[in-house]
Each structure stands twice: as structure tokens, then as C-alpha cells.
Structure 1
């Protein structure tokens, strides 16, 4: 199993850059450069279609991130082509709100970097709509509980006792290529916490090749995904308030 695909999301930053661009807070050239850095070059050719399709004045964020993983189906209509594609993709999906009520555009990348575009008429499954504070608290609680279980098992490692020392080599990878300047601090903090917890998990399970505490660590995946989705939704809402 690809641990990095579960704990890191380049689609998170892709969503934030697109959201800032859609709300006029980033220049097109900057977005194109960011998409190239994120491996999302395939979206460059459809930026015009994205701008024409998205509705910026609705109650929901103009753009959302949908992530899924083991034991968690994507929050898309069950049995739909979009849900099937998102379940197969390790990256997740982007959901664009249309100007027409109850219409959504769903973009899903495949392993080759190509993107499928789906249109869903009708309501989508309701996301959790966590605030950054709620998502951060859930991730913190889950991290603390995992640490407690690990300590109770008698297992110790520098990766848990001093994670900054062991995940330092991953820091540049998780931080690149950064976020738009307009990203609110609360969202950036939430992304940073999700990145740090993801780096710890990768260090222990992949870099150290130690799987004795997988059940404790892998239980954090759901909360990492929730934090990333909440951060994107919050950031895009705030972009709308700035314009």
C-alpha cells in the first residue's frame, strides 16, 4: 500500500490555488506555474472551462476537495461514474459549484495525469463542513490517542519522541510548492498539522520499514483527510469574502 498517497494530498494545494485564481486573488501565470509544480498540468488546458462553469455566488464554497480511503467512500453520489472514478483515483476529486442550483462539476485525475470531468445534477452527499478549529481538534485528539496506544504497547522510537528530527528530510517535499499568499492563517496551520502528522506516519511505516504499530498510526488517515478537506473549504470561502 502507498502510504504517501494516503497521508499527503497534492490535490489539496491544487484546490487552493484554483480557488484563489477563481476569486481573482492569483494571476493566471502563477496558477499555471503552481499546477506544473503539483503535477496537475492537465488542468491548464481547461482553466477557461473551469472559470466558465463555476458559480462564485452560492452558499457553498465555489470549489471543494473530496478525499477518500480505506473504509471511507468519497462524498459523491453512490454508484455514479464520478464516485467510481474518485474511488479508483488515489488523489481524490475536485468539486466545482455551478451557477445552477444543485449542479456540480467533478474533476478526477487518473494515474497518468489525465483528468475526467463529470457533471452531477442533484444534491451531493453532505460533507462534514468542519471548521478549521473542529478539524484541528479532531486531528489533535486522534494523534494524542495514537501516541497513548503506542506508549501503552511499550513501543518507542525517535520518530514519535522527536518527530522533527526524523521527518526533516520530508519537510521540503510536503511544503512544496507552497500556498497562495491569500490563504488564511487558520487554513495554513491546519494544512501544516496534517502534513506533520502525515510525515510522521510515513517515517515510521515506510522510511523505517516498521509496521508493528500500523493500527495506531493508520487510524489517523481519516482525520488527516478531514483536516485537508476542511482547510480547503474554509480557504475558498474566505477567498470569496475578500472579493
Structure 2
């Protein structure tokens, strides 16, 4: 599904390259929570970035933007870690642990900083800023390859589920999928991002909704443990392909915004 980190990556990149105002960034983030707050993960980082530390009253996101510009941020990247796939995290540091716990984060390689969003109460989203340490080079996946990979994984998953005998008709499934998609925020994107990336993100949202409905057993009765294992193995590549498509789409948005800003 869409996530706050993707919004943060694209809109801060647009702002840093002069393609959006700071108020545009703040407005886009509010789609995820009415109140946004920011703190640094430790006192040393807080002093370096002029941000409140973990034991202090958090600041608003406008102070985060000022800190990122001061630190020399340029382009961010989206990471979507899950157990067994920690790409983009670089080890078992506090940032990696926090990102793995929530399943998303922002990486800002030029600054050595990472941002992790965490809902802490109804309508409140807290961004914690971490130092990254040494990170491996970020994986680059061409947008066309990501789109093709998601389509191929969907065909293979459907075939595997039929072969396993766990694909079954479910009354009202279309309504369930539509409700799952519509229940998530639909944040705006900066003007000028490629329409292809928006289509791929929308498709990824729809496919992930199908996946969550497909793995929800509550209305359909019990499945055997072996059937559940088979279904999990069949669907794992599709979950991976959806995350890859989302990362590639966000990276392509950032690339296009940066290229346009560099042209006279």
C-alpha cells in the first residue's frame, strides 16, 4: 500500500530541487496524520542537526526540512524491509531495527541519515531521525523491469495457487479488494512526475490489496498447515515484486525531478 515514507522521499526531493515549496511537503504529509512530529534517535545526532533528542519534546516537520537542507540532503530513497529482505538497511544498527519493525523508511545517502515513521497515537505520526553508518550501494531497478516483474509474478502466483488447489471462489471478494484499496490515503504527488510511475504505483496498490484478501482466512474456513505453507511460498515472490515496483517507481520520480531541476 502507499506509505508515509514514499510521500516523504518524493516531496522532500521535489522541495530540495526547487520543484515544490516547503508548505507543499507539509501538506502532503498531512494525508498520513494530522499531526507530524520529529525527533533525533540520540543526543549526539540531535545536537548536530538542531533537533530535539529522544527525551525531549518533539518538533514539527518544518524543523526537519531545515535540518535536511543544512545537512546537504539531495535525493532520498525508499526502503521497504521485511523479515528475510533487509536490502537498503546495512546491518543491525538502530535504524535497521526500527525500519524493519515498521516495514518502511527513508534513506538519505548524502547526509548519512535515515527517517523512520511511527504512528504513536490517533492522528499523530512521529519521524525519528537516525544515523546510518555504512550502507551498501542502493539497488537500482529500471522501472520497466520492475513493472514486468510484477506482472510475471502475478501470473506465476495465480498458476501456482490453482495447482495447489488453494485458489477458490469467495463471494464479495471484489468489494473486499476495493474497500482495502480505498481505506488507504491517496496522497498527491508533485507536478511533473511521470504518469507511468503513478500507474505502476496504483497497480501495486491493487495487487497488494488482492494479496491481503487472498491471505485472509477468516471468512473461508480453516486451511491445512501444508496448504498455508504452499500458499505462502507461492505468494512470496509477488509480495517481493510489489515492493520492488513501489521502490522503483519512487526512485524514478526522484530521478525525473532531479533531472528537470538540473536543466537550465
TM-score, scaled relative to structure 1: 0.80
Match of 1:59 in 2: none
Gaps in structure 2 of 5+ consecutive residues: 39-60
Match of 2:94 in 1: 81
Q: CA deviation at 1:141?
A: 1.1
Match of 1:49 in 2: 67
User: Is the 2:11–2:28 Cα contact (8 Å) retained in structure 1?
Assistant: yes
Question: Tell me, what secondary structure is at the counterpart of 1:72?
Answer: coil
Tell me the matched-pair count: 224
1:228 aligns with 2:241: no
Q: CA deviation at 1:199?
A: 1.0
- 1:52-63 superposed matches below 5 A: 52-56=70-74, 62-63=75-76
User: Is the 1:68–1:74 Cα contact (8 Å) retained in structure 2?
Assistant: yes
Higher mean alpha-carbon deviation, 64-73 vs 19-28, is at 19-28
Residue 174 and residue 134 in structure 1: after superposition, are their counterparts in 2 closer, same or farther (change >3 A)? farther
CA distance in 2, matches of 1:136, 1:158: 28
Please point out which of 126, 129, 137 is paired with 1:114: 126
Residue 183 and residue 78 in structure 1: after superposition, are their counterparts in 2 closer, same or farther (change >3 A)? same
Higher mean alpha-carbon deviation, 108-117 vs 223-232, is at 108-117
CA distance in 1, matches of 2:130, 2:92: 13
1:199 aligns with 2:209: yes
1:140 aligns with 2:151: yes
CA distance in 2, matches of 1:163, 1:30: 37
1:27 aligns with 2:21: yes
Gaps in structure 1 of 5+ consecutive residues: 1-6, 57-61
CA distance in 2, matches of 1:128, 1:163: 35
Match of 1:64 in 2: 77
User: Is the 2:116–2:129 Cα contact (8 Å) retained in structure 1?
Assistant: yes
